Amino acid sequence: MKYETIKSIVLLILVVFSILLTWMLWTYQPNYDTLKESGNTVEEVSLGETKELSKIVRPERLFFHQGEKHYGTFDSFEIDQTMKELSLWGFSEFEDISDLVKNIPSFIYDKNALELIFPDIVPLKEYRSALQLPSNDIPKSNFDRIVIDLEPETREGGVVYFISSKEQEVLRAYVSASYINDFKERYLMDISANEKFALYEPINRESFTMLRKDPVKIALYKYLYLKIQTEKLRDALFSDPNLVSKNYSSFGEEYTDTTTLMSVNYETNTVSYLKTENVESGTTTKSENLLEKSIDFINSHGGWTDNYRYVGMDQSEQVILFRLYDLSGYPIFGDNGVSEILQIWNASEINKYYRSNFMLGSRVEATEITLPSGTNVLEQLTNIEGFDLDFLQDLTIGYHMSKDSQDVIFLEPAWYYKYNDEWKMVPSSEDGGIKHGLE
């Protein structure tokens, strides 16, 4: 092969290689996503589940009022089925009729009605999604009871009331009468034969307190204790865990950055997360969506580690409370707020977050005991020196949570009463009360 021919071939190869290299440079795109992932970023941590509002803000009890007879249940399945039914009804024509109602308990008990009771007031606008309410027809109002009139006014129209027992407000809305009639046929034809419904009676026509008339058989549970890893709490709650310092205290551990203090108390099994820069401000700015943003905050780190539900808020102080419930629908109480999630807010961010540092593990034992009737418990309370029936707000069965030295959690059923805005356990008449203390 001639020298000139070889020279031409080599030159052609170099030209082709140069063109290929130029094309690769022009079309090259670095993998920025990969670079981001390998950089100094904070991995998202989830303690447990995320839940929508309707799973957290739920009725606690369901009552069926039929003349002089009143049937009630705490059963979560029955209540959930009822709420699913209501979400399909298409509420309309909301109207405030508070001035027309002289006595709300009598207004409810005198009807053939179904009553759903929430633990505390719920802003109707924030509950819109749970009931599929129209966005343009909802007044600014709160409720803690939904009352369904089971005798529709006409063949075309039925009535549902949203009632705030605290604020003495009654809101009326209309639904199709066919929904109510269908509901009665499916669920309420023979409610007295339903084992999940017990017979109740009101203390009087002026009171919202309903008393269970018969003794009740109820389970006592034991669960394994599952500790939430402290490092996981730190990574979930701090925006940048790399900037957090750790110190030991007389009761546990403390984690701090420039604006926040997280204290883990191993004596009370609780966690306190506090924005230190806001503690001394002394000002509270109200937010109209306190309920929604509180749930969103817990969802942001999967904080629903157990069956928590909304139980109350103070809108003026921007305080909101969630409580643990057993799967049957009964509230769980514990010392030092160990069964609760507490939040305190300002307008833009959370100031304080308080919760337990553990979860309920596997159930290891369940036995059955019998509690006295509500009427007997009321008689016991009225015999307490200084007890004033006017301050009694509620009387219900609940569970007391405690833990022994072997890391076994006890859920022991007992009667609880709400007296002057404070929940208290009715002392046991047999053995003086709970044997296990939270250790």
Architecture of domain 216-439: 2-Layer Sandwich (3.30)
Claim: this prediction has a pTM higher than 0.95: no
pLDDT tens per residue across all 439 residues of the chain: 555 565 566 565 655 556 655 555 555 554 444 434 434 444 577 899 999 999 999 999 999 998 889 999 999 999 999 999 999 998 988 999 999 999 999 999 988 999 999 999 999 999 998 998 887 778 889 999 999 999 876 666 899 999 999 999 999 999 999 899 888 888 777 777 787 899 999 998 888 999 999 999 999 999 999 999 999 999 999 989 999 999 998 899 999 998 999 999 999 999 999 998 765 555 556 667 899 999 999 999 999 999 999 999 998 999 999 999 999 999 999 999 999 999 999 877 899 999 999 999 999 888 999 999 999 999 999 999 999 998 999 999 999 999 988 889 999 999 999 999 999 999 876 544 444 434 3
Q: What is the pLDDT of residue 326?
A: 94
Contact criterion met (CB below 8 Å) for 416 and 424: yes
The CA distance from 99 to 287, in Å, is 28
> How high is the pLDDT of residue 380?
94
Q: Is the Cβ–Cβ distance between 218 and 397 less than 8 Å?
A: yes
Q: What is the pLDDT of residue 13?
A: 64
Tell me if residue 356 falls in helix, strand or coil: strand
DSSP assignment letter at 243: G
Map residue 310 onto helix, strand or coil. strand
Integer CA distances (angstroms), 293 to 281, 298, 315, 350, 418, in order: 21, 9, 13, 10, 27
Residue type, 300: S
Distance in angstroms (rounded) separating the CA atoms of residues 232 and 241: 10
Q: What is the pLDDT of residue 18?
A: 62
Rounded distance between C-alpha atoms, residue 6 and residue 4, angstroms: 5
CA of residue 169 relative to chain centroid, distance:
24
53 neighbors 127 (Cβ within 8 angstroms): yes
Give the helix/strand (H/E) hosting 355.
strand 350-356
Q: Give strand pairing partners of 401.
A: 334, 411
Contact between 258 and 398 under an 8 Å Cβ cutoff? The reply is no
Query: Which pLDDT does position 185 carry in this prediction?
Result: 84
pLDDT at residue number 133 = 86
Instruction: Check residue 346 and give its pLDDT.
Output: 86
So what's the pLDDT on residue 439?
39
Q: What distance in Å separates the CA atoms of residue 44 and residue 237, rounded to the nearest whole number?
A: 10
Distance CA 166, CA 121 (A): 8
Listed by start position, the domains of the chain span: 57-213, 216-439
What is the structure's pLDDT at 140?
87
Measured CA to CA, the distance from residue 223 to residue 366 in angstroms comes to 9
User: How far apart are alpha carbons 291 and 135 in whole angstroms?
Assistant: 18
Q: What is the DSSP letter of 270?
A: E
Asked if residues 295 and 51 have their Cβ atoms less than 8 Å apart, the reply is: yes
What count of other Cβ atoms lies within 10 Å of the Cβ of residue 141?
19
Alpha-carbon Rg for the chain, nearest whole angstrom, is 29
